[in-house]
Structure formats: structure tokens, C-alpha cells
Amino acid sequence: MEKARPASLASSQTVRVSNPGGSSPFVFTCDHASNFLPAEFGTLGLPVEDLSRHIAWDPGALAVAGRIADTLHATLVETCVSRLVIDCNRPLDAPDLVPPVSETTAIPGNTGLSEKQRAARVDLAWRPFHETVAQVIEQRLARGQETRLVSVHSFTPVYKGRNRPWHIGIIHDDDRRLAAPLISALQRLSGVTVGVNEPYPPADRVYFTLERHARSRGIACAMIEIRNDEISGETGQRKWADLLTGIFSNLEPEEARGSRQGAMGKSVQSAS
């Protein structure tokens, strides 16, 4: 995978850009790609084994997103720090930006933080991630390059004791330009249970990266959640990456075909 970072992009170790000159119209983010904790945080008071659980990251999501991005020659922006330090897919005023509890696990190292400590975490990982995503998109739009934003996540099969039956979920708000054809394509597959706004809807404030970078610019977007037991090993990761790559290869946002609100972040003349 191409790992070069243009000098103009944030150079912090807490964010990584793959395929920065991606020719694909799709730009991917992996907001919970890593369970890495910088040494200064220790284990945040958790047993080491908790750091490999879904509370620390989205297991398998980066492997899938990276394979899709490489095959499509699409730009991928990923976080390199655990969501336990700071959750890049949350607004700055979210109570779980620095989660005191994740699912049912208390995070001792996240309680009683000073404003200065919280601000340091924002500067460490949240700000570099969002500045990088913004720069990637702005540079593409300045070039007139068609751009659609997709965030790739994974979810745990059982949450607070409740089984989640979906193999994959597509999360969207009232802009369904990209989500609708994506859902249709997935629903045509046999043996795949597709959740629509499952395992959670945008109202749960899980849609932040797409709101900040896509919705604010009129860019078509969608959020993908893959159940993590489907992508716990290389075989499953390849299966889902190849399946989604095939779908993305032919995926056109619905309204881009005949709407003034195109997928390029600028007006597209109606053909009708």
C-alpha cells in the first residue's frame, strides 16, 4: 500500500493517508482503525486484553478499507490512535469524545481529566485526522475531481447482551444518494443480511465525520458497518473487501445522474 504523505497534509503520526493521489471518486475514512495507545497513556488503567476488544478500535475495518482503497486506487485516511484516547468520529462536545465508559467497561484513565488534558488529546489525534480529511477533500474539489466520502467501521456481534443479526449495516441520514444504491446492491446478494441504519442510526451521533466533511460540502456519502466476526481473519477481510470493491466499481450516486446537486461538490447541470 502506498503510504506517502504529501508535505501539505498533516504530518502527525496519529493520522495516515494511503493513496493520496487517488484516482477513484471514492475517498474512504477509517475512523477507528487502530487500537494503539501512545506510551504516555499506559493502558488507561485497563487490563491489556481489553485493548484488543472492540471497545478500543474497529477490528478488521482497516484491513477491509485498505484492500478496497488499494484496488480502486482510492484515497484512505485512517486514525493511528485508539478511540479510547479520543474518538475521532464524535463532535468535540460529545460526552463520549473521551469515553469514560465503553459499552459496559469503565475506562479509569479517562475519568477526572482536566480541560488541558482533554485539549491535548484533541490536538494529538482528533484535529490532525479532521484537518487531513478536510485537506484531502478540498484539494480534490479544487482540482474538480469527483468526490464521494465513505467511512468504514466494524461492530461487535453482541452489544450489551443483545445479538445483532446484520452482516453489514449502511448508515445514512436524509441524503440517500450514495446509501440507496449501496443498500440495493447489497440486498441483491444472497445470504447477506443488510441493516439499514443498523446497528445504530445517525441520531446516535455516529455520523460525525460524514456530517463534518461530506454533508457540509454537499458531497454524497455513506457509512459502512461490518459485523466484526465476519472480518476477524484474512479470509473474511478479503471476501468483504472484494465484494464491496465490486459494488463500488459500479456505484453511482442516485441523483448525480440528473440533478443539479452533483457528487462533485459543485453544480451539475440537469440532463432533463
Q: Output the smallest distance, CB 84 to Zn ion, in A.
A: 12
Quote the DSSP letter at residue 124: I
Cα 159 to its chain centre, rounded Å, is 20
Q: Largest Cα–Cα distance in the chain?
A: 61
Task: Centre a 10 Å sphere on the Cβ of residue 93 and count the other Cβ atoms it contains.
Answer: 7
Nearer to Zn ion, 194 or 264 (CB): 194
What residues from 151 to 170 belong to the interface with Zn ion (CB under 5 A)? 153
Instruction: Indicate if the alpha-carbon torsion angle 97, 132, 32, 225 is positive or negative.
Output: positive
Phi–psi pair at 141, nearest 5 degrees: -65, -35
Among 20, 58, 128, 197, binds Zn ion (CB under 5 A): 58
Inter-residue contact 41 to 35 (CB < 8 Å):
no
Nearer to Zn ion, 90 or 140 (CB): 90
Nearer to Zn ion, 30 or 256 (CB): 30
In angstroms, what CA-CA distances link 36 with 94, 177, 185, 206? 22, 34, 34, 21
Number of residues that bind Zn ion (CB under 5 A): 3
Residue nearest to Zn ion (CB): 153
List all residues 6 or more positions away from 270 whose beta carbon is below 8 Å from its beta carbon: 258, 259, 260
β-bridge pairing 15-18 and 26-30: unpaired
Nearer to Zn ion, 148 or 153 (CB): 153
Q: Output the smallest distance, CB 259 to Zn ion, in A.
A: 30
Q: Output the smallest distance, CB 87 to Zn ion, in A.
A: 9
Interface pattern 104-143 for Zn ion (x via CB under 5 A) = ----------------------------------------
Measure the CA–CA gap between 135 and 23, rounded to whole angstroms.
16
Judged by CB under 5 A, the stretch of 25-33, 37-45, 180-188, 257-265 that binds Zn ion is 25-33
Nearer to Zn ion, 153 or 164 (CB): 153
Nearer to Zn ion, 78 or 255 (CB): 78
What residues from 225 to 244 belong to the interface with Zn ion (CB under 5 A)? none
Phi–psi pair at 195, nearest 5 degrees: -95, 135
Nearer to Zn ion, 126 or 263 (CB): 126
205 part of the interface to Zn ion, by CB under 5 A: no
> Smallest Cα–Cα separation from 206: which of 172, 157, 166, 164?
172
Kindly list the residues in this chain that would bind Zn ion in the complex (CB under 5 A): 32, 58, 153
